[in-house]
Amino acid sequence: MSRRRLSFGERVIANFKQEGVEAIFSQGDLSMKDIQLHAETQGLKVVGPRHEASAVFMAMGYHAMTGQVQVAIGAPGPGQANLLPATVAAAQEHVPVIILGARRQHAVDTAVRRGRWLHASLLPAFKDICKFAVKLDQLSHLDEVVHEAFRQALTGTPGPVYIEYDAQLNEQDAAFPAIVSPARYRAPEQPAPQAAIESAIAMLRAARMPLLLAGEGVQRSRAQSAFVELARQLKCPVLTTLGGAGAFPETDPQWLRYMSQAGGEAIAAADLMLAVGTCLPETLNYGRLKHFSTNYETRRLIHVEPDVAAVGVNRPVDLALVGQTDLVLAQLLDALREGSPFKENPNLKIWRDAFEMENQALVDNLPNTNRLHPGHLMIEARKAVPNDAVIVVDGGLTMLYQYALFEKRSSELIYTGNFGHLGSGIGLAIGAQLAAGRERPVCLITGDGALGFHIMDFETAVRHELPIIIVLNDDQALGAEMAQHMQHIGHEIQVTFGPVNYAAMAEAMGGFGIRVERREDIAPAIAEAFALKKPAIVQVSTDQDASYTFPVPYVGELAGWKQADILARI
Cα distance between residue 543 and residue 320, in whole Å: 47
Q: Is residue 386 located within the same domain as residue 507?
A: yes
> In this structure, is the dihedral angle defined by the CA atoms of residues 558, 561, 566 and 567, taken in order, positive or negative?
positive
Cα distance between residue 230 and residue 240, in whole Å: 14
Q: Is residue 378 located within the same domain as residue 338?
A: no
What is the per-residue DSSP string for 5-61? EEEHHHHHHHHHHHTT--EEE----GGGHHHHHHHHHTT-EEE--SSHHHHHHHHHH
Q: Is residue 407 located within the same domain as residue 545?
A: yes
Region for residue 497 given its phi and psi (left: phi exceeds 0; alpha: psi -120 to 50; beta: otherwise): beta
Which own/partner contact pairs does 560-566 have at CB distance under 8 Å and 24+ positions apart? 560/290, 561/282, 561/283, 561/285, 562/282, 564/285, 564/289, 564/290, 565/282, 565/286, 565/289
Specify the range with the lowest mean pLDDT, choosing from 94-98, 231-235, 261-265, 419-423.
419-423
Q: Is residue 174 located within the same domain as residue 214?
A: no
Contact 64, 436 (CB under 8 A): no
pLDDT at position 478: 82
The CATH number of residue 264's host domain is 3.40.50.1220
pLDDT at position 378: 97
Domain that holds residue 341: 194-352
Within 13 Å and on the Cβ side, how many CA atoms surround 146?
25
* 387 phi, psi to nearest 5 deg: -60, -30
Mean pLDDT, rounded, for 336-361: 94
- Domain assignment present for residue 558? The answer is no
Instruction: Please report, rounded to a whole number, the percentage of residues in the chain having pLDDT higher than 70.
Output: 95
What is the per-residue DSSP string for 353-374? HHHHHHHHHHHHTS---SS--H
Single residue among 291, 322, 352 that ends a domain in this structure: 352
For residue 393, name the pLDDT band (cuts at 50, 70, 90). Answer: very high
Amino acid at 505: M
For 165-185, write each residue's pLDDT tens digit. Answer: 998 898 899 999 999 999 999
Single residue among 184, 212, 228 that ends a domain in this structure: 184
Q: Is residue 37 located within the same domain as residue 76?
A: yes
For residue 556, name the pLDDT band (cuts at 50, 70, 90). Answer: confident
Q: Is residue 202 located within the same domain as residue 269?
A: yes
Say if residue 132's pLDDT is above 60: yes
Say if residue 570's pLDDT is above 80: no
Burial of 170: CB neighbours in 10 Å, binned 0-12, 13-18, 19+: buried
Cα distance between residue 282 and residue 557, in whole Å: 11
Structural domains of the chain, count? 3
Q: Is residue 125 located within the same domain as residue 234?
A: no
Cα distance between residue 342 and residue 439, in whole Å: 39
- Domain assignment present for residue 566? The answer is no
Cα distance between residue 76 and residue 80, in whole Å: 6
Q: What are residue 173's DSSP bridge partners?
A: 7
Within 13 Å and on the Cβ side, how many CA atoms surround 353?
5
Q: Is residue 316 located within the same domain as residue 424?
A: no
Say if residue 569's pLDDT is above 60: no
- Domain assignment present for residue 428? The answer is yes
How far apart, in Å, are the Cα atoms of 509 and each of 107, 443, 461? Answer: 42, 18, 10
Nearest residue to 473 (alpha-carbon basis) of 383, 428, 408, 406: 406
Instruction: Give the mean pLDDT of the chain.
Output: 93
Q: Which residues of 426-444 are buried (b: 16+ CB within 10 A; e: fewer)?
A: bbbbbbbbbbbeeebbbbb
- Domain assignment present for residue 189? The answer is no
Q: Is residue 346 located within the same domain as residue 425?
A: no
- Domain assignment present for residue 357? The answer is no
> Helices 325-337 and 194-206: crossing angle, nearest 10°?
60
Burial of 277: CB neighbours in 10 Å, binned 0-12, 13-18, 19+: buried
Q: Does an H or E element contain 107, and which? A: helix 106-109
The CATH number of residue 94's host domain is 3.40.50.970
For 65-121, write each residue's pLDDT tens digit. Answer: 999 999 999 998 889 999 999 999 999 999 999 999 987 666 666 667 676 656 678
Say if residue 503's pLDDT is above 70: yes
- Domain assignment present for residue 16? The answer is yes
Determine how many CB atoms are found less than 10 A away from the CB of residue 297. Answer: 6
Cα distance between residue 6 and residue 245, in whole Å: 45
Q: Is residue 304 located within the same domain as residue 329?
A: yes
pLDDT at position 565: 66
Q: Is residue 285 located within the same domain as residue 247?
A: yes
For 508-519, write each residue's pLDDT tens digit. Answer: 999 999 999 999
For residue 410, the SS3 value is: coil
CA–CA–CA angle 505, 506, 508 (5° rounding): 60
Q: Does an H or E element contain 123, and which? A: helix 123-129
pLDDT at position 121: 81
For residue 388, the SS3 value is: coil
Q: What are residue 240's DSSP bridge partners?
A: 214
Single residue among 184, 204, 223 that ends a domain in this structure: 184
pLDDT at position 567: 63
pLDDT at position 69: 97
Give the single-character DSSP code of 496: B
Q: Is residue 388 located within the same domain as residue 347?
A: no
- Domain assignment present for residue 15? The answer is yes
Terminal Cα distance for the chain, rounded: 60
Nearest residue to 424 (alpha-carbon basis) of 432, 415, 433: 415
Nearest residue to 475 (alpha-carbon basis) of 547, 413, 425: 547
